[in-house]
Amino acid sequence: MSTVLFHHDLGVVQGFLRFSRAVALLICAVALVVLAGWWCKRPLLTTMWPGQTAMTANAAVGFVLSGSSLLLSQHSSPRRSSFGRWLSLAVLAIGAVTLVEYLWMTDLGIDHMFGGPRTHGSGRWPGRMGEPVAAGLVLLGGLGLLLPVRRWLYLREGLAMGLLAIAMSGLASYSIALAGRNDMLFGRMPIHTALLLLLATLGWLSATPTLGLTRLATADTLGGVLARRLLLPALLLPAVFAFVFQLLQSRLGLPETLAFVLMALFSGGAVAGLVWWAANLFDKLERQRRESILLRNDAGTDILTGLANRRALDEVLACLLRSQREHDRMFSLLMLDLDCFKTFNDDFGHLAGDQVLRVTGHLLRAALRPADMAARYGGEEFVLLLPETDVAGGREVAARVLDAFRGFAWPYRAVTVSIGVAQSAFGDGAEDLIRRVDAALYDAKHAGRDQAVAAVALPTVAPSKT
């Protein structure tokens, strides 16, 4: 059983790499703006808009380092790639130290980068990020460190899934907060921090577009197209659902039961929308596939008779001859010529002649097995290829074809056919076999037409050495 190789769409692969670099630049830019806001004591620069939670300075430093590491990871210089891994290690260290501070309820001094008073009621320095953000930086640093190590691919993908969970939980919590409730688990995570975590995860995954989770998304298959179109909307749905549910319950004052019912309807509609989108995509791709098959078939099909054309015949004949040489698989070739066809055209016109050619294509297809091939060789000449068939089997097929022509109710006058039969032999080339079968056809013509003549069979295997 042959295995179909996994192919990637090169254009999509390049697009993923460009996306990764763009994400790295965006992360660095946003984080540098936040750091400038802390340095210049401009609160507006540390938030998305007035009144929202600010991104901490330590988180911004971690994002600058991670974005820089992502850019360096795609550089061709081993030295720069190695430096990028050191930056990822620094990101991991920032997150790990912050988690240690929370775990041991201590202050290790990394929260005082820009000084300032402690936050009222929380006992936290302005530079100390929330626990989910610190955990996200640990995972983000680990993702960068494991990028070049293929044997740790599954661990790297696990870190990416954890990051996606943190980012999506943060976005969902923020959506609920927008709808009027502020006591959520990740309510302290700033919206731009959650977005940068999401973008950073996607950027690191896109940096290796032919490995791991992104391997399917870059495939040149239907699965690849579906992954590229549907994965991102599916990631954003939880945040949208959370926002709608909380909005129905808090802002509109609906009872919890009614809010659940409406939420279920909304969820069903969203899923149905994704299914409809996928169905449209399937339909479009299937029509494109069928059009491609039709074009491919047209390139190898004689339009008038519906049989294979000379180009397709040459390709299949070459394959059969190669199989004969390599595996000693014989086959037979029949060449047919419509008797007195020029006279028929002169007497009844070319439209009647075309109809005879169409009927000939139908009769030949009906006389063959599925594995056999009928082709129009040129004009009124046709060729039949019969794999795994010796000269005796070729004669039987020729007899069926002769009977089919004799028994058909031709509209103007009876049409007969002369047939040459030849079996492939060891060392045959296409010209050798065609020459033998053409000579047999010539003999059939000169013996009175409406009959089949077989060429003398030659050895089908290499002569043994004594």
Which residues are catalytic, by number? 380
Answer whether 206's CB lies under 8 Å from 19's CB: yes
- Whose tokens are 């290790």? That residue is 108
Secondary structure (DSSP) of 22-77: HHHHHHHHHHHHHHHHHHTT-HHHHSSSTTSPPPPHHHHHHHHHHHHHHHHHT-S-
CA gap 455, 268 in Å, rounded: 71
The SS3 call for residue 162 is helix
Match 């940096």 to its residue by tokens: 207
Instruction: Phi first, then psi: give them for residue 173, nearest 5 degrees.
Output: -60, -40
Q: Are the C-beta atoms of residues 399 and 405 closer than 8 Å to each other? A: no
Kindly write down the DSSP assignment for every residue of 99-151, as one continuous string.
HHHHHHT---STT-SS--PPPTTT---TTPPPHHHHHHHHHHHHHHHTTT-GG
373 CA to centre of own chain: 33
Triad 359, 361, 366: Cα angle to 5°: 95
What is the Cα–Cα distance from 332 to 253, expressed in whole angstroms?
A: 83
Angle between helices 131-145 and 78-104 (to 10 degrees): 150
Placement of tokens 């950073």 in the chain: 200
Report the b/e string of 153-169 with b at 16+ CB within 10 A: beebbebbebbbebbbb
Cα gap 403→408, rounded to integer Å: 9
Q: Which two tokens stand for residue 41?
A: 């004591």
In 3-state terms, what secondary structure has residue 249?
helix
